[in-house]
């Protein structure tokens, strides 16, 4: 998965480990009770623009986390066992 400026905040917040990145970048929606009602309609790019957040840096950090997780979760190829 790759996150871009049009990815919904609700989808992003379901990803493991991303909440820490959002807090680090001071995304206010993480703790806002009003945001919880419309979180599935909020695009991360719009949130960054509304609150003056560094969109490129935030997206880069989220995507680096996801890329690292994808590599860690890839199953290793099974070894074939020869019958004797």
- The candidate with the shortest Cα–Cα distance to 3, out of 65, 72, 47, is 65
Tens-place pLDDT, residues 27-82: 998 888 888 888 889 999 999 999 999 999 999 999 999 988 766 666 666 667 77
Are 19 and 13 contacting, i.e. CB atoms less than 8 angstroms apart? yes
- The candidate with the shortest Cα–Cα distance to 59, out of 10, 11, 12, is 12
In this prediction, residue 73 carries a pLDDT of 62
- SS3 state of residue 43: strand
In this prediction, residue 34 carries a pLDDT of 84
| Separation of alpha carbons 79 and 74, rounded Å | 15
In this prediction, residue 25 carries a pLDDT of 94
In this prediction, residue 75 carries a pLDDT of 61
Q: Map out the domains of the chain as residue ranges.
A: 9-73
In this prediction, residue 71 carries a pLDDT of 66
Six-digit token string for 39: 């979180």
């Amino acid at each position: 998965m790759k996150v871009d400026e049009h990815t919904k905040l609700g989808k992003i917040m379901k990803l493991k480990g991303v909440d820490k990145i959002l807090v680090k970048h001071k995304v206010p929606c993480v703790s806002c009770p009003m945001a919880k009602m419309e979180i599935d309609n909020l695009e991360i790019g719009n949130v960054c623009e509304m609150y003056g957040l560094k969109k490129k840096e935030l997206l880069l950090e989220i995507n680096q986390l996801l890329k690292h997780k994808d590599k860690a979760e890839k199953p290793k190829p099974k070894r074939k066992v020869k019958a004797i």
